[in-house]
Amino acid sequence: MKLHTGDTVVIISGKDKGKTGSVMRVIPARNHVVVSGINMRTRHIKKTHQEAGRILRYEASLNASKVMLLDPKTRKPTRIGMMIKDGKKVRIAKTSGEVVRKVAAPKKVSPKKTTEDKAGDKAKTKTTEQKEKTTKAEKPTGGDQSKQPFWKRLQFGSAVDEVNAPDETRSKQDHTIPSQNIPPKTSGRGS
């Protein structure tokens, strides 16, 4: 396939005829290309318990025969030829004979953030900074924090713990999760 990612192409047939865009992805097995902003599709995603529903807009692939490379010199559609220059095989534009340079593929454009999203991002960063500060302050100087009961990690009842027996007399088992007596699974109906 003579088209590469990053090439600027023009659409020569279909609903987007005349539009230009850069090649985001090449699928040589199917002779298809994905062009940024061309052949847009809409996908409706149903809401779930974890996420809200949303509408996705994405670029679908189209056949490579529907696009032509834009000549880097004249900015008109052109065919692509091959030539050996300085011992290397290079692509050239047929109309002007100009060498077609390889360009980095464009990054996918994310949807623009609204002012509400920006405010939400600022609030998220503030809360994460506050959490980091509090976790640094709450860490005890000695011992592993994960082996302490949850009320000690959250600093509940610190005065009561000083009066009770020292930590060495407690068993090594973590008592933060109560033992769960789950009945064995039985097969059959009604049991």
Count of C-beta atoms within a 10 Å radius of residue 38: 24
pLDDT of residue 161: 45
Contact 57, 42 (CB under 8 A): yes
pLDDT of residue 62: 93
Contact 72, 84 (CB under 8 A): no
pLDDT of residue 67: 93
pLDDT tens track, the chain, 191 positions:
889 998 899 999 999 999 999 999 999 999 999 999 999 999 999 999 998 999 999 889 999 999 999 988 888 999 999 999 889 999 999 888 888 887 776 666 555 554 455 555 555 555 556 655 555 555 555 555 567 776 667 666 544 444 455 555 455 555 565 665 666 666 666 65
pLDDT of residue 160: 46
Domain ranges, ordered by start, for the chain: 8-93, 136-177
- Maximum C-alpha span of the chain: 91
Between CA 17 and CA 81 the distance in angstroms is 23
For the whole prediction, is pTM greater than 0.85? no
Instruction: Give, as one character, the DSSP assignment of residue 36.
Output: T
- Fold type of domain 8-93: SH3 type barrels. (2.30.30)
